[in-house]
């Protein structure tokens, strides 16, 4: 089975006349269609809001597309807050969900009027000492512990996760926050990552909805929203069925009607914090074959490396590869597709069956729109690539230039040697 790229070889031939490989390319049409489908799937909830996980794809040009559809920003660091502020996302349009949080990050979140989502009960005092008060609207992150299962399948292990409060802690946290002046409360949880099943969100919703009913009854707080966070995944392999967001939304609606409405909580707003689902399939890494090597294995060397896409090296993650112009040819050759880092795990694919690859061929590495460019680094002095947007009218816009050696050496500019390097 194959995945079909959203860009053609003919388009790449034109793009590379201006922008050399490697580069990340994003599909505006796909991004817009996806966010419209998401909003439709949760339109049954009047207060529904998507807070895009900035960490997944921290590019203001892409986030502004989502902003057109009413999406906010899920931020977890100082610079992510700065980025949101720069594009006019402020106040309750920011959800600040961090952990092990420095004081200056809480302070900036408060100045911007963001909804602060506390990761731990000890952060209540830390927050109050930092900003001098407790916000009237506040959220707490919940971790029920144990294993999270759907049927007999283990989806993830929340009990081994560093995030969130226990059942006992979140109840105590709500009581303390209420005493300190908080008036509107939210609950947040992230129990499994990259799930390719329509059952995850409804199952998570049931856990959180039941917890919300218990907390409101036991503590007397008013729960304004429940944040289902992320976890809806994408089909990285071509044989996986993609999630059906409309079925997911309907599943959450049914649980809402079963659990919250009978408890008199039919005014609760549903929030999501999707990243991978929002951008992952609508980005690709375009690279060029520049070497071939025939030793104990067959290698294709490309001009991208793990600096441009870290997931295969870090997780052994699968990303489908299309050899452009050879989409219809049989996959008769077994290759390791490798980059140039001085690390043996710098491989985009291992023992991957592909059509015969020739020097100069373009390779499209699929599904890099989330946690692709964002996870880049500069080991070996390698420089991060440009980011480009394939517009709906098929034109191409530069939305981040490629790094230069001057960028790499910029932090030496306060030293004499820096003047020679920059």
Domain boundaries, the chain: 9-24+281-412, 28-280
421 pLDDT exceeds 90?
no
Tell me the CA distances in angstroms from 368 to 55, 225, 238, one per residue in order: 13, 31, 14
Strands 333-338 and 347-354: antiparallel
Q: Both tokens of residue 258?
A: 């079963």
CA distance 144 to 80: 28
For residue 87, the 8-state DSSP code is T
Same fold? 9-24+281-412, 28-280: no
pLDDT of res. 318: 97
Query: Which segments within 130-204 are labelled E, that is strand?
Result: 137-141, 148-150, 153-156, 184-188
Give the three-class secondary structure for 214.
helix
CATH architecture assigned to 28-280: Alpha-Beta Barrel (3.20)
Residues 6 or more apart in contact with residue 372 via CB below 8 angstroms: 24, 57, 283, 285, 308, 309, 311
> According to the model, what pLDDT value does residue 190 have?
84
% of the chain at pLDDT higher than 90: 91
pLDDT tens sequence across 155-210: 556 767 789 999 999 999 999 999 999 999 999 998 888 888 899 999 999 999 99
Q: Please answer whether residues 93 and 63 qualify as being in contact, where contact means their C-beta atoms are separated by less than 8 angstroms.
A: no
CB of 74 within 8 A of CB of 252? Answer: no
In DSSP terms, 397 is beta-bridged to 389
How do residues 344-398 score in pLDDT, each as one tens digit? 999 999 999 999 999 999 999 999 999 999 999 999 999 999 999 999 999 999 9
Q: What is the pLDDT of residue 12?
A: 98
Tell me the C-alpha to C-alpha distance, in Å, between residue 81 and each of 91, 109, 125, 412, 414: 11, 7, 22, 26, 27
Residue 326's Cβ-side half-sphere holds a number of Cα atoms within 13 Å equal to: 19
Which tens digit of pLDDT belongs to each residue from 43-97? 999 999 999 999 999 999 999 999 999 999 999 999 999 999 999 999 999 999 9
Q: Which phi-psi region, left, alpha or beta, contains residue 220 (left: φ > 0; alpha: ψ -120 to 50)?
A: left
DSSP H stretches of helix in 96-142? 103-111, 123-131
pLDDT at 147: 67
Give yes or no for residue 212 having a pLDDT over 60: yes
Q: What does the mean pLDDT of the chain come to?
A: 95
Assess whether the previous peptide bond of 134 is cis (omega < 30° from 0): no
**Which of 219, 131, 116, 127 has its CA nearest to residue 167?**
219
Hey, which bits of 179-232 come out as E strands? 184-188, 222-227
Reduce the DSSP state of residue 403 to 3 states and report it.
coil
As assigned by CATH, the class of the 9-24+281-412 domain is mainly beta
Q: Is the pTM of this model over 0.85?
A: yes
**Active-site residue list:** 342
Encode burial over 316-345: b for 16+ CB neighbours within 10 A, e otherwise.
Answer: eebbbbbbbbbeeeeeeeebbbbbbbeeee
The pLDDT confidence band at residue 150, using thresholds 50, 70 and 90, is: low
- The predicted model gives 213-223 an average pLDDT of 96
**Helices 167-179 and 200-219: angle between axes, nearest 10 degrees:** 50
Residue whose token pair is 């990243």 = 275
């Amino acid at each position: 089975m194959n995945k079909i790229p959203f860009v053609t070889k003919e388009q790449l031939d034109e793009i590379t006349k201006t922008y050399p490989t490697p580069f990340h390319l994003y599909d505006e049409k796909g991004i817009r269609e996806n966010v419209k489908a998401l909003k439709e799937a949760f339109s049954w909830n009047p207060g529904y809001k998507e807070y895009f996980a900035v960490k997944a794809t921290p590019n203001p040009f892409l986030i502004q597309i989502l902003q057109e559809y009413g999406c906010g920003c899920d931020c977890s660091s100082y610079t992510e807050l700065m980025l949101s502020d720069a594009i006019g996302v402020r106040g309750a349009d920011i959800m600040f969900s961090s952990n092990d949080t420095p004081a200056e990050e809480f302070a900036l979140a408060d100045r911007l009027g963001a909804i602060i989502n506390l990761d731990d009960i000890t952060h209540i005092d830390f927050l109050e000492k930092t900003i001098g008060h407790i916000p009237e609207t506040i959220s707490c992150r919940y971790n029920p512990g144990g294993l999270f299962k759907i049927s007999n399948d283990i989806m993830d292990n929340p009990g081994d996760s560093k995030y969130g409060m226990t059942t006992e802690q979140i109840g105590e946290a709500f009581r303390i926050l209420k005493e300190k002046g908080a008036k509107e409360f939210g609950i947040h949880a992230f129990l499994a990552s990259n799930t390719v099943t329509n059952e995850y969100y409804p199952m998570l919703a049931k856990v959180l909805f039941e917890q919300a009913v218990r907390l409101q009854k036991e503590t007397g707080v008013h729960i304004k929203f429940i944040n289902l966070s992320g976890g809806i995944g994408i089909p990285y392999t071509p044989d996986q069925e993609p999630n059906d967001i409309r079925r997911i939304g309907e599943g959450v609606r049914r649980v809402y009607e079963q659990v919250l409405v009978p408890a008199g909580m039919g005014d609760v707003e549903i929030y999501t914090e999707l990243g991978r689902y929002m951008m992952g399939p609508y980005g690709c890494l375009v690279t060029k074959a520049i070497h071939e090597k025939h030793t104990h294995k067959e290698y294709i060397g490309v001009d991208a490396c793990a600096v441009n896409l870290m997931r295969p090296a870090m997780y052994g993650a699968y990303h489908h590869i299309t050899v452009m112009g050879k989409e219809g040819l049989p996959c008769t050759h077994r290759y390791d597709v490798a980059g140039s880092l001085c690390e043996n795990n710098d491989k985009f694919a291992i023992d991957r069956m592909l059509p015969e690859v020739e020097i100069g061929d373009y390779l499209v590495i699929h599904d890099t729109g989330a946690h692709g460019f964002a996870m880049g680094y500069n080991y070996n002095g390698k420089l991060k690539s440009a980011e480009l947007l394939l517009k709906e009218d098929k034109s191409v816009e530069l939305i981040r230039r490629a790094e230069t050696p001057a960028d790499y050496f910029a932090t030496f500019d306060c030293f004499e040697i820096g003047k020679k390097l920059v």
